[in-house]
Amino acid sequence: MQQNFPGDLRLLKAQDETTRIREDLRDLAIRSCFSLLIVLLVLLLFLRSWSSSLVVISTIFFAVLLALNFFGFLGLGINLLTLAGFALGFGMLVDSAIVVVENIQRLRAEKLRGEVGDGESGGKGERESGRQDEGKKGQIGDSEIAAKGTAEVSVAIFASALTTVVAFIPFLYLTGELREYYQSFALAVCASLVASVLVAFTLTPTLAARLSFHRKKTNSTPSPHSLFTPSPFQLHYKRILTYIIRFRWAVILLALGMFGGATYIFLKEVTRGSPWKWGEETYIVVWARLPTGAQLERADAIARFFEERVVGQSQVERVFTRVSAEYANLRIAFPPAAQFSAYPLIMKEQLSVLASRFAGISIGVYGFGPGFAIGFGGSAPQYRLRVLGYNYNEAKKFAEEIGRTLSRHPRVREVNTSSAGWYAQGESFETILAIDREKLPAYGLTVQAVMAQLGAYLREDFTRQEFIINDEPLTYRIKFADFDKFELQDLFRMTLRGERNQPVHLADIAHIEERPTQSMIARENQQYQRWITFEFRGPWKLGNRYVESVVKNTHLPPGYKLEQPEWRWGNVEEEKELWKVIALSLLLIFMVTAALFESLKQPFIIMTAVPMALIGVFLIFWLTNQPFDRSAYIGVVLLGGIVVNNAIIMVDHINQLWRSGMERREAIIVGASDRLRPILMTSLTTIVGLLPMVVAADKTGLW
């Protein structure tokens, strides 16, 4: 197309979302490689075996291929939502394989100790006799060990994966916008988990047995003392667990106190309900609205006025301009290197000063994107307060008084007591021509005479005259020939004629002013609303504290109140629907564990992991000063399915020991100690697998 255009005409892409998507995919690939490397190091640290570590790592590649096949079967495309779900399941892909490999390695170590006549005994009753029987037989091969090790943990692995999958089932029944956000994400997570379980039950034990057979043929059998010898950490853990069981009520009260304290901090300090942003650009919008009936040339001249002062600057990438008869809009984009610098803020201030030179024209300068975000968010004004009352004029008076109070704070800028609410574009202004009646007699003028002379220049008129042609009345007005080119700024230079035909400058008897006005009248429960918007130049948390103090210390008469409405990323019905889904997810997790363990007491014990995990969630959001937004809700749902996995693995093993004849207290201590290493491994691999996704990542992105 460019070849067919004249030489001075170019075709440019105003916006290209594929560039951002390609950057996200490239960044995701690099971070995934780092995650894989860190997971391998964690496995080597715990398993102390290259072969076992490679068995676990290999499951990732096969699980990924299998999950992609599930994507095709479910009709899922590769987009940011499905990739996000796939990446969140990345750290969990190895969990099932870790539990299988660790249990196989533990059984193999017990067999080796029995064959060499090691005198250690790790348990009592049937646990000890079982080891002695295996030592006596000595005929159990690696294939049988792999099958037995997989069978012992099959119920725990199946339950762990199923609890995570069922946590997302209610999201398939969401409606509206929430369905678009959550359905493909939930399906992607479930597909990756199902793939990991299938690989863990089939490929993982096969590779574990095969590598063990190969090690036998090469006479590289490791020493039994190098495998599963209780570490000092495990011994200390047993001692600590003994004291915890002895003083269990004190520990329970301590845990409840920690949960209550973390919940209080979360509700008090953490900001909730911010928009879900995936990497917005930093840009400035200059928006001008001309009076009704303005000419296109005038709007174009205003746009060119700002263009000439912006285009060509080194820190400006592009300027997009749209002009109509009564509106002009400029979008100023910045290169990536300048988006987080002070330059966008400086330019916004400079353009605001230039905009103040125009009278009779409503011009607003707004900054959007992460470069203008202080803490989080996107655009100015940052804060909005609302005055409610049953009298419109009184509500307006109180709003103006509060606005004057806000203006006295050195960090507060751009106070507007006539805002239209959440959207700055809804603001409007009116132009006032105030005539000084006391000065008119000195020139022999009246208000009517002044308005009559002004009417010849203005497009609108306040009088009309008629004459009759062929018995038909005809209305007419008398105008100057160039009245349609007359602009409001020309009033400053306008000259009238006095009673004795002397020249009188309009500026000598009147003045023009522009003031904001509310573009709509809104009521809530029959109470008038008056909005106050302003910017706070400083940290978000400091701004929150200042606004809270203003609301708390402002006392209005009965029937009037000042409040700070919460911004909601969805309507109330959507939020209620989401909370119902979260509650249903937890209920399904409880039902699944109750069915698998055939008990109501044990699932309750397992579910206590959820509030304990929320302690860390609440404190992390508080310490990092991050908003609890839509992606955080997804994290809580995912958390409900994940945190119970460790409890399921531990409770299942304790049940096995208890059923084998071991005393309950000892079964708890031994079972928890046996499962300490796989729990640490699965937790660390999940954590370190996600760390590259969040460390040094774009703060406006999903991670």
- CA distance linking residue 645 with residue 683, whole number of Å: 10
In the predicted structure, residue 134 carries a pLDDT above the cut 50: no
Which residue stretches of 218-295 are H helix? Answer: 232-246, 248-269
In the predicted structure, residue 1 carries a pLDDT above the cut 80: no
- CA distance linking residue 226 with residue 102, whole number of Å: 14
In the predicted structure, residue 632 carries a pLDDT above the cut 80: no
Three-state secondary-structure class, residue 78: coil
Contact 424, 379 (CB under 8 A): yes
Name the DSSP class of 285. E
Picking from 420, 417, 414, the residue whose alpha carbon sits closest to that of residue 372 is 414
- 162-194 burial code (b ≥16 CB/10 A, e <16): bbbbbbbebbeebeeebeebbbbbbbbbbbbbb
More confident residue, 520 or 442: 442
* 76-80, 173-177, 334-338, 549-553: the lowest-pLDDT one: 173-177
pLDDT at position 573 is 63
What DSSP string runs through 156-203?
Answer: HHHHHHHHHHHHHGGGGG--HHHHHHHHHHHHHHHHHHHHHHHHHHHH
pLDDT at position 276 is 42
The mean pLDDT value for 22-28 works out to 73
Tell me the torsion sign for CA atoms 414, 418, 419, 424.
negative
The mean pLDDT value for 622-627 works out to 80
- CA distance linking residue 193 with residue 649, whole number of Å: 16
Residue 402's pLDDT band, with cuts at 50, 70 and 90, is very high
In the predicted structure, residue 562 carries a pLDDT above the cut 70: yes
Three-state secondary-structure class, residue 48: coil
Beta strands in 463-583 (DSSP E): 465-469, 472-476, 495-497, 503-505, 510-517, 523-524, 527-536, 561-563
Residue 485's pLDDT band, with cuts at 50, 70 and 90, is low
Q: pLDDT tens-digit profile of 250-261?
A: 999 999 999 999
Cis status, amide bond into 381, omega within 30 of 0: yes
pLDDT at position 11 is 73
pLDDT at position 377 is 39
What DSSP string runs through 5-30?
Answer: S-TT-----S--HHHHHHHHHHHHHH
Angle (nearest 5°) at CA 686 between 681 and 687:
100
Q: pLDDT tens-digit profile of 341-400?
A: 888 888 888 888 888 777 667 788 888 777 775 433 344 447 888 899 988 889 889 998
For the chain, what percent of residues have pLDDT higher than 90? 4
* E strand or H helix at 435: strand 428-435
Q: Give the range with max mean pLDDT: 138-142, 508-512, 628-632.
A: 508-512
The CB-side HSE value for 226 (13 A sphere, CA atoms) comes to: 7
Residue 313's pLDDT band, with cuts at 50, 70 and 90, is confident
pLDDT at position 191 is 82
* 254-268, 502-516, 573-587, 646-660: the lowest-pLDDT one: 573-587
Name the DSSP class of 469. E
Residue 683's pLDDT band, with cuts at 50, 70 and 90, is confident
In the predicted structure, residue 533 carries a pLDDT above the cut 80: yes
More confident residue, 463 or 610: 610
Crossing angle between the packed helical segments 126-137 and 95-115, to the nearest 10 degrees: 70
Domains in the chain (CATH in brackets) are 18-275+572-694 (1.20.1640.10), 283-416+537-563 (3.30.70.1430), 430-517 (3.30.2090.10)
In the predicted structure, residue 48 carries a pLDDT above the cut 80: no
* 289-293, 410-414, 552-556, 666-670: the lowest-pLDDT one: 289-293
Residue 126's pLDDT band, with cuts at 50, 70 and 90, is very low
More confident residue, 618 or 425: 618
The mean pLDDT value for 547-573 works out to 78
Return the bridge partners of 44, or none.
none
* 116-120, 194-198, 305-309, 421-425: the lowest-pLDDT one: 116-120
C-alpha 103 chain-centroid distance: 39
Whole-number average pLDDT of the chain: 75
Residue 128's pLDDT band, with cuts at 50, 70 and 90, is very low
